[in-house]
Amino acid sequence: MSTTLAHAHHYYDVIISGAGPAGTTCALALKDSGLKVALLDKAEFPRDKVCGDAIPGRAVKTLFKINPLYEAAFNSFEPKLATRKTSLYYKGRNISFNWVGAAYTSARIDFDNFLFLLARDNSGADIYTNTEIKTVTKDKAGFLLTAKDGRTFSCSMLIGADGAHSVIAKQLAGRTIDRKNHVGSVRAYYDNINGLDPNTTEVYFNKKLLPSYLWVFPLPGNRANVGFGMLSDEIAKRKIDLKRLFYEFIQQSPELQTRLGNATQISALEGFGLPLGATEVKISGNRFILTGDAASLIDPISGDGIGNAMLSGKLAAEQTIRCFTNNDFSEQHIHTYNRALMASIGKELKTHYYARRVLAGAPILLDTVFLACRTPLLKSLIQKGL
């Protein structure tokens, strides 16, 4: 359902603001809850999202757990590649890791539209696209949301799934950008890549820029998503022009010249931020839960955020159902969501946060990893730990 009625008011038990991976997963997990749910997004779908387009195994596993039928839907979703291997390039050397679990690449314009249609057709939620939430205020029974065009919505429970610039996180949790835990990134699409294995994601390091890296991720049709990201604090301190650095990185690397020298850049180089899941931030409160990038859940080493976004969307739905069942919407009760989320990914986020810091302070460690990988046993241990 899409409405154009200015100033119409809508009441819901649950409003999910944002229909990206976190919001759509949350809506799907609320199916059959008996609750009146709305899923809002400022965009019309299909819409693009600046990303590396690597879909982690955790993303699809979360979806399949909600309903095994979604596995068949994902299998028949075509614009994707299964990736089984990652190759690292550093100082003219190359090591590869083979992954046991399945991961994928898919352009976000396709993958997010797949999730959006799945939620539209299966979740039972009312869908409002072209609905940008501007303000959130508390009212007697929950929250009052006002859209850019003046429409208002109220709800007993609010799920913030509105991404890295979340209005909900800013207004209800006082979120600001923490540059020390935030990465600035750029990415563009290239066609006619030379010799890129469709099942391998590639990561390139430059010793002056560690632990940052440039990625070349394959997509169907001999296309690749090529991008580079760096800690926002470093970008500001060193007054870095990220777009210029991106092209310099490619020009200065012989391996990247082989891959991209004759390729055609088919999209603009676009930038966007990644809020890293590094330190504790407020992710819930009285009658609200933040999910995905709105909750700063991106892995500090890999930059993966889709899997954590979808997992948090599912856990937010489970907590929401508990709130209505127990008729308890207090911050204390909702904190069960924080605990469940951290029990799943807290240790991983912390370890990767420290690994990133250690690597930034001691780049020699990357040489050590390359050396260690000459020994099959050590390589297999690193592979398991990564």
CB of 308 to ligand FAD, least distance (A): 7
Instruction: State yes or no: residue 160 binds ligand FAD (CB under 6 A).
Output: no
Q: Which of 53, 366, 358, 354 is nearest to 206 (CA)?
A: 366
Among 13, 16, 41, 259, binds ligand FAD (CB under 6 A): 41
CB atoms closer than 10 angstroms to residue 147: 22
CA distance from start to end of the chain = 43
Q: Stretches 4-12, 40-48, 136-144, 360-368: which one binds ligand FAD (CB under 6 A)?
A: 40-48
Decide: is 132 part of the binding site for ligand FAD (CB under 6 A): yes
* 123, containing H or E segment: none
Cite the beta strand spans of the chain per DSSP E.
9-17, 37-40, 54-55, 81-90, 93-105, 126-128, 133-139, 142-147, 152-160, 182-191, 200-205, 213-219, 223-231, 264-265, 270-275, 284-285, 288-290
Considering only 142, 160, 211, 305, the residue that binds ligand FAD (CB under 6 A) is 305
The span from the CA of 128 to the CA of 19, in Å, is 10
For ligand FAD, the closer CB: 53 or 202: 53
Our CB check for ligand FAD shows the closer of 269 and 365 to be 269
Binding flag, residue 277, ligand FAD (CB under 6 A): no
For residue 163, state whether it binds ligand FAD (rule: CB under 6 A). Answer: yes
Please report, to the nearest 10 degrees, the dihedral formed by the alpha carbons of residues 307, 79, 1, 127 taken in order. Answer: 10
For residues 41 and 126, which CB has a smaller minimum distance to ligand FAD in the complex?
A: 41
Q: Which residues contact 137 (CB under 8 A, 6 or more apart)?
A: 143, 144, 146
**The one among 12, 104, 143, 272 contacting ligand FAD by CB under 6 A:** 272
Is there binding between residue 40 and ligand FAD (CB under 6 A)?
A: yes
Does residue 203 touch ligand FAD according to CB under 6 A?
Answer: no
HSE-up of residue 60 (Cα within 13 Å, Cβ side): 20
Binding to ligand FAD by residue 52, rule CB under 6 A?
yes
User: Does the footprint of ligand FAD cover residue 115 (CB under 6 A)?
Assistant: no
User: Does position 54 bind ligand FAD by CB under 6 A?
Assistant: yes
Distance, in Å, from the CA atom of 272 to the CA atom of 277, rounded to the nearest integer, reads 16
Spatial separation of the C-alpha atoms in residues 386 and 375, rounded to whole Å: 16
Of the candidate residues 31, 49, 61, 243, the single one contacting ligand FAD (CB under 6 A): 49
Pairing label, strands 213-219, 284-285: unpaired
Question: Minimum Å distance from CB 240 to ligand FAD?
Answer: 15
Q: Given the complex with ligand FAD, which of 19 and 263 has the nearer CB atom?
A: 19
Q: Report the interface residues with ligand FAD, using CB under 6 A.
A: 17-23, 40-43, 49-54, 56, 132-133, 161-163, 167, 185, 187, 227, 229, 272, 274, 292-294, 298, 303-307, 309
